[in-house]
Structure 1
Amino acid sequence: MPEAVAEDPKAEASKPEASGETAQEPTAEISAEGKETAPPDGKGKGKGKERKKTSYWISWDSLERRMEKGRWVAISCSKDHSAKIWELHSHECRGTLAGLHEGAVRCAVIDWKELTGITGADDGSMVLWNLDRYECNEQWLSGKFGQQICVAADWENQRAVSGTAQGKLLLWDSKKLALISAVDAHPGARINKVFIDVVIGFAVTAAEDGRLRVWDVTVPELTCIGTFDKHGDSITALAVDFNKNRVFSGAADGSLCFWHLARPVKTRASIGKLDGHDDKVNAVALDVKKGLAVSASDDETARVWDVRDSICLGVLEGHTLAVRDVVADFDQQTCITCSDDATLRMWDMVDSTCLAVLEGHTGR
């Protein structure tokens, strides 16, 4: 599942000098050219058991000091227990993050400003990464809450939320990866997506029980303040615009719904429904201001939507297996999809053409 960032493509690129910093993990580093180099001696820090595997971003020089203005960067997660960084202008994989998770990496959220990130995996682990120093800042190794399926963060306000396969919603201090609160949000039902906005004071969860739930994150214990239960099937995709009070969701039956997130939050029906996919919707992206959305589905396609008129504007075809995730830059009219065929694709959303195919993962 990719997460992308795009800086102003017209801005002048800067090339600061190398930092001279070294990673602190007793294992080998692979350079950008693929040559193995001996690492310095030392031990990284983290919670729980001592780490014996790499916590490197296997990357070119210092990621932080080589990210130039105008460069697009994406991160993807895989069943091969790794996450990868992609430089989208050159269509190259610039680094692999591996060695700490012992299960499929299911989710990632990145603070591109501070170059830190959180990844979650099937083994129940969460890892907070320092992407500048190529090392793990903190680890959460406990699997007692089950598989970590989704994660979202409000970096400015130092909060993150994650959802598990067992229906638990967890609230974290994103700076320390310290658990603040845990609640049985959707008992026995996998939480597929979660969003948070600390200023607004809400988190939203979507689960296999067919319900969207809204949570108050300003109180010591997470509290449900509203439920959206008119979807009719397992909710498998979610996008939220808290400022515009809109929610866009997708379900296992291929349907999509557009909701009004009102105050006070009450149980209500959707304000628009879109049909077109022939199978489960896995992910959606939304821009309320432009009235556009993108969805990714098990039917091997992604679709571009006009959510105001509830019509499909284009079908993105090319993947040979289920499309698992999508991120979009609506200003540039470009999106990225990832698939069970182990590839990522870049698309022009206007004419529905594929701009590039990114390969490198060994699993979906």
Structure 2
Amino acid sequence: MLKKGSRRAGSSRGGRIFSEENSVHKFSRIKNTNLLNDDDGIFNARNSPDQIFNNSNLSPPYNDPSSASPMEKSPWSSQRNINIAFEDNGDDLSPNVLMGSLVREEGHIYSLAASGDLLYTGSDSKNIRVWKNQREFSGFKSNSGLVKAIVISGERIFTGHQDGKVRVWKISSKDPTVHKRLGTLPTMKDYFKNSMKTSNFVEARRHKNAVWFKHYDAISCLSLSEDKTFLYSSSWDKTFKVWRISNSRCLESVIAHDDAVNSIVAGYDGLVFTGAADGTVKVWRRELQGKGTKHFFSQTLLKQECAVTAVAVNPDATVVYCGSSDGLVNFWEREKHMSHGGVLRGHKLAVLCLVTAGNLVFSGSADMGICVWRKMGSDHICLSLLTGHNGPVKCLAAEKEHESASTNERRWILYSGSLDKSVKMWRVSENAPPMAWKGCASSAPTAMPSSMPAAPSFSVQSRNIHDLPN
């Protein structure tokens, strides 16, 4: 997850579904450039700035000069010039298709989580919407501002917010459309109990202290441990925190990076991977100590000038991927002692999100496209470029399709959330042939697949959400 942009765009609420409108960008923090950012419309100097787009490549109103960065050079305007020739071979028979769109005109989509036939979407409208069978099923609301991250563990839903809090929700046993808020991390009880001791305070900002177990800046990402015993939260405050799910206690706070932590993922064998605006990807090793945990720094996988914006681990826990503000996806192979495996080059602007499913890797970008990569041995090929969004692709989620065309074919439903206020659904097959292929993707291909043909959108019924206390 990245830090929001330098202008807060007003969101239109209610509205009709499936109308896709361009909207003013509102983005996330990426790199240390001494850029100014805002908090509820107030501009403050920060060490880790907002990301600003290279607007010259975008359609109106994204190329509005009034929304341009005051900095001549930012992570968004210093992308590598990867001159990829997009080849249209006229082949529209690919099994990868756009199934439809979910649109609720109330804000940009910042987070997604899929669980079975349910899809949770978070936006800057303070609302979390629940969709079932392509229809709006339910919803719940927090008064904290935009929803930066969503993860699901059984009947519990964890949401990370702009105010630095993690909120915990549970589906009502009497009515599956009702979600009750169980509490906030840290809990009020722990906060008051521990805030009485001065030893529990650390320096948060210059001349300002905060309790060590509370994030004092926006939550950027959430991740669950393999056994779903621990919840990890990363933040722009340069730390990640470890929470025991059973009792909602914060066990540890780790100062992980020199700048905003944009992504965290709990991997295998107690390893945790973090990516940050300081351009590094770090590996941490978890050890249980009594009733608590202790995370030790293990190694740095990547150190570069460009910010790391997304981190993901494949389902087999054999490959670690990271996306960067230069539009590249690096990967490392576990079987080769975490050696660098290569670079996937498919985007013209920053990679904003990554998700894995089976042998597939999906990368969403500020260039409004989604690259579908298939792992083949130690290499990757690009199956297709999914296009259809009118804004940057901010988040992705994937679920296995229950009904496949054949027993030998694995197909996935991919959800993509964008700053065009829409969520799109794609059907993607692992057996899909590359629509255009002239070499290995990790060897800088000379051609990329053509975009997918659009499918008609399906209708969605809207429901009122339940307004719950913050």
Q: 1:345 to 1:358 in 2, by over 3 A?
A: farther
Contact 2:278-2:305 within 8 A present in 1 as well: no
Whole-angstrom CA distance in 2 between matches of 1:167 and 1:333: 34
Q: Is residue 2:329 matched to residue 1:286? A: no
In 2, the alpha carbon distance for the partners of 1:136 and 1:258 equals 38
Matches within 5 A, 1:1-364: 1-6=111-116, 73-87=118-132, 90-99=133-142, 101-111=143-153, 114-132=154-172, 134-140=179-185, 144-154=215-225, 156-187=227-258, 189-197=259-267, 200-219=269-288, 220-230=293-303, 233-241=306-314, 243-261=316-334, 270-287=340-357, 290-308=358-376, 309-329=379-399, 331-350=410-429, 353-354=454-455, 356=457
Q: Distance in 2 between matches of 1:254 and 1:325?
A: 15
| Matching residue's letter, 2:342 | G
Bigger radius of gyration, 1 or 2?
2
Identity of aligned pairs, percent? 22
Q: What SS is found at the alignment partner of 2:411?
A: coil
Mark the CA change 1:354 to 1:161 in structure 2 (over 3 Å): closer, same or farther.
farther
Change over 3 Å in CA distance of 1:144–1:157 after alignment to 2: closer
**AA matched with 1:318:** G
Contact 2:318 2:333 survives alignment (8 Å): yes
Could you tell me whether the CA contact under 8 Å between 2:115 and 2:152 is conserved in 1?
A: no
Give the secondary-structure state (helix, strand or coil) at the position aligned to 1:229. Answer: strand
SS in 2 for 1:272: strand
What code does the residue aligned with 1:96 have? G
- Provide the TM-score with structure 2 as the length reference: 0.56
Indicate the RMSD between aligned Cα atoms, in angstroms. Answer: 2.5
Q: 1:122 to 1:203 in 2, by over 3 A?
A: same
CA shift digits 1:245-299 (9 cap, x unpaired):
310111101111121236976xxx6212111211111111124xx5321111111
Q: Distance in 2 between matches of 1:322 and 1:202?
A: 31
User: Residues 345 and 356 (structure 1 numbering): CA distance in 2 closer, same or farther, change over 3 Å?
Assistant: farther
Separation in structure 1 between the aligned mates of residue 313 and residue 181 of structure 2, nearest angstrom: 30
Distance 1:74 1:305, change over 3 A: same
Pair 1:337–1:271, CA change in 2 (3 A): same
- Counterpart of 2:240 in 1: which secondary structure? strand
Say if 1:163 and 1:263 are closer, same or farther in 2 by CA, change over 3 A: farther
Q: Please name the residue that 1:18 is paired with.
A: none
Give the Å deviation of 1:329.
Answer: 3.0
Structure 1 length as normaliser, TM-score?
0.71
* Structure having greater relative contact order (Cα 8 Å, sep ≥ 6): 2
One-letter code of the match for 2:422? T
Tell me, which stretches of 5 or more residues in structure 2 are unaligned? 1-110, 174-178, 187-212, 401-409, 430-451, 461-470
Q: Is the 8 A contact 1:273 1:310 kept in 2?
A: no
Farther-moved stretch of structure 1 (350-359 vs 292-301): 350-359
Cα deviation digits, residues 213-255 of structure 1 (max 9, x gap): 1112224332111111155521111211374331011110111
Deviations 1:147-203 (A, max 9, x none): 11100113744201010012111000123321110011013x121211114x71111
Aligned letter for 2:127?
Answer: S
Distance in structure 2 (CA, Å) of the matches to 1:167 and 1:148: 10
How far is 1:305 from its partner?
1.1
Would you say the 8 A contact 1:148–1:163 is kept in 2?
A: yes
Counterpart contact for 2:147–2:160, Cα < 8 Å: yes
Which stretch of structure 1 is more off in the superposition, 114-123 or 154-163? 154-163
- Note the residue ranges of structure 1 that are not aligned, 5 or more in a row: 8-72, 360-364
Query: Residues 388 and 454 of structure 2 are in contact (CA less than 8 Å); yes or no, is this contact kept in structure 1?
Result: no
What is the rounded CA distance, in whole Å, between the counterparts of 1:353 and 1:2 in structure 2?
22
Provide, for residues 89-139 of structure 1, a one-character-per-residue CA deviation record: whole Å limited to 9, x for no partner. Answer: x3111112203x41211011112xx31111110111111111225322221
Amino acid at match of 2:395: D
The 3-state SS of whatever aligns with 1:279 is coil
Q: Identify if the C-alpha distance between structure 1 residues 228 and 295 changes in structure 2 by more than 3 Å, giving closer, same or farther.
A: same
The 3-state SS of whatever aligns with 2:340 is coil
Give distance in 2, aligned partners of 1:303 and 1:354: 18
Distance 2:130 2:250 in 1: 27
Give, as a single letter, the amino acid of the residue that structure 1 aligns with 2:412. Answer: Q
Q: Classify the secondary structure of the residue corresponding to 1:257.
A: strand
| Alignment partners' CA distance in 1, 2:184 and 2:423 | 28
Deviation, 1:143, is: 5.7
User: In the TM superposition, what whole-angstrom CA distance separates every residue of 1:41-76 from its partner, at most 9, and x where no partner exists?
Assistant: xxxxxxxxxxxxxxxxxxxxxxxxxxxxxxxx1111
Paired with 1:260 and 1:221, the residues of 2 have a C-alpha distance of 25
Task: Give 1:79's aligned amino acid.
Answer: D
2:315–2:356 CA contact under 8 A, matched in 1: no
Change in 2 beyond 3 A, CA 1:296/1:358? farther
Report the count of equivalent residues: 282
